[in-house]
Amino acid sequence: MSKQNDKPWAGRFTEPTDAFVEAFTASINFDKRMYKHDIMGSLAHARMLAKVKVLTQKECDTIVRGLQDIEQDIEQGNFTWSTALEDIHMNIEARLTDRIGDVGKKLHTGRSRNDQVATDIRLYLREQIDILQAELKRLQQGLLQVAEQESDTIMPGFTHLQTAQPVTLGHHLMAWFEMLQRDSERLMDCRKRVNVLPLGSAALAGTTYPIDREFTARELGFDGICLNSLDAVSDRDFAIEFTSAASLIMMHLSRFSEELILWSSAQFNFVDLGDKFCTGSSIMPQKKNPDVPELVRGKTGRIYGHLISLLTIMKGQPLAYNKDNQEDKEPLFDTIDNLRGCLRLYADMMPQIKVNRESMYDAAKRGFSTATDLADYLVRKGVPFRDAHEIVGKAVRHGIDSGKDLSEMELEELQGFSSTIEHDIFEVLTLEGSVAARNHIGGTAPEQVRAAIKCAQQRHT
């Protein structure tokens, strides 16, 4: 075995590690993506050690330069990752000693890989949460833009996927906006518990050196310090919270996807997703498939899976660190990667969706979507709501039999169901009248949609 691959913990061992055990226990293949964060943590640790005089300033400077050079090496592809050195932490530390000599061996003073890895994951996740927040915002901006253009566009609103009442497309899109707003707040809240420093907890019990954890926290931009060393090295709640917030985002994107898939079908023909976001069929020349929303809907399952993985990894662990924890990274990283991809695609796709206003309008005209408006009209004329419901039910039955919408019936025909009906009924039965009448906070009237968009724009900048 080469010197560079000598294990830092080889001292108490007399036999080399079994080759398959070495491969089985290594995490370098997937934790090397945290190299920047590992180096960042080491830089702060070295500076702290110099501040409390465990290292001399000269030793610290040598270590700092060595680490900065290693970061460059990695970025330029001049770093050979070694499985024998298990993980990102030992790979970088071994390389440091190779480069700067024995002083490199002092970096790990008062530190353990247990508090180091917990710190790295938090630094990595914090950075990723900020990127995800920016993508979420971009998608929300896109929604506001389309909602504004479509604040007067009328479409059928559904319950049970049956035509219920007319709504405006702007209103529908603002419902999506609200879901994402909660997602963004959840991420922001989760970030607070991510942004706390475990370093200084060492293996599990703290360290005998006169460390200054507040200094390290400030160096790394953490808002606080984990207050119990046993908890700090073993806690992965923050990763579970994040994956749970990610699952909710995916659940929302999956619901949007389901609607876009339906809406872009020939049967609905409400939207055109744009050629850039669709693919064709290898056999059916006419096909344009909504692959992006379908894949997003499909990926939701794997993210839920990662949430369950993380919860299950943690459930049987006694305090403090156990190797089980190494299994946290792949589910977490895969959640981040896929969520980023899905949000990016949605943010790109949203402003490019073409809306087929006529189709939406025609669909809203079918299915007696203004039946509730007729009932409300009767109530305003003094008919009790239950009676009004019955009267309108009969009118709808007649409409089905005669193939007419309520608005297409003659006044006399309608009066056959209730003599209270007068000529002013026709403005009530139009789709425009129906949506305009729902004119209160949270209602579908174009006026309210425009107000909601304005309010969201103010909240959002």
Catalytic residues: 160, 281
Nearest residue (CB) to ligand ARG, 113 versus 122: 113
Q: Which residues pair with 279 in a beta bridge?
A: 289
Among positions 27, 168, 370, 418, the unique one binding ligand ARG when judged by CB under 6 A: 27
Q: Least Å distance between CB 270 and ligand ARG?
A: 48
Is residue 202 a contact residue for ligand ARG (CB under 6 A)?
Answer: no
Q: Least Å distance between CB 113 and ligand ARG?
A: 4
Calculate the CA 22 to chain-centre distance. 35
Is residue 418 a contact residue for ligand ARG (CB under 6 A)?
Answer: no
List the structure tokens of 351: 């402003």
Is residue 113 a contact residue for ligand ARG (CB under 6 A)?
Answer: yes
Q: Least Å distance between CB 38 and ligand ARG?
A: 10
Nearest residue (CB) to ligand ARG, 160 versus 323: 323
The window from 110-118, 303-311, 340-348, 408-416 that contacts ligand ARG (CB under 6 A) reads 110-118
Is residue 326 a contact residue for ligand ARG (CB under 6 A)?
Answer: yes
Among positions 63, 70, 84, 117, the unique one binding ligand ARG when judged by CB under 6 A: 117
Q: Least Å distance between CB 312 and ligand ARG?
A: 16
Nearest residue (CB) to ligand ARG, 113 versus 365: 113
Is residue 325 a contact residue for ligand ARG (CB under 6 A)?
Answer: yes
Q: Least Å distance between CB 87 and ligand ARG?
A: 4
Is residue 93 a contact residue for ligand ARG (CB under 6 A)?
Answer: no
The window from 173-181, 214-222, 317-325, 362-370 that contacts ligand ARG (CB under 6 A) reads 317-325
Is residue 119 a contact residue for ligand ARG (CB under 6 A)?
Answer: no
Site size with ligand ARG, rule: CB under 6 A: 10
Is residue 219 a contact residue for ligand ARG (CB under 6 A)?
Answer: no
Q: Which residues form the interface with ligand ARG (CB under 6 A)?
A: 27, 31, 87, 113-114, 117, 321, 323, 325-326
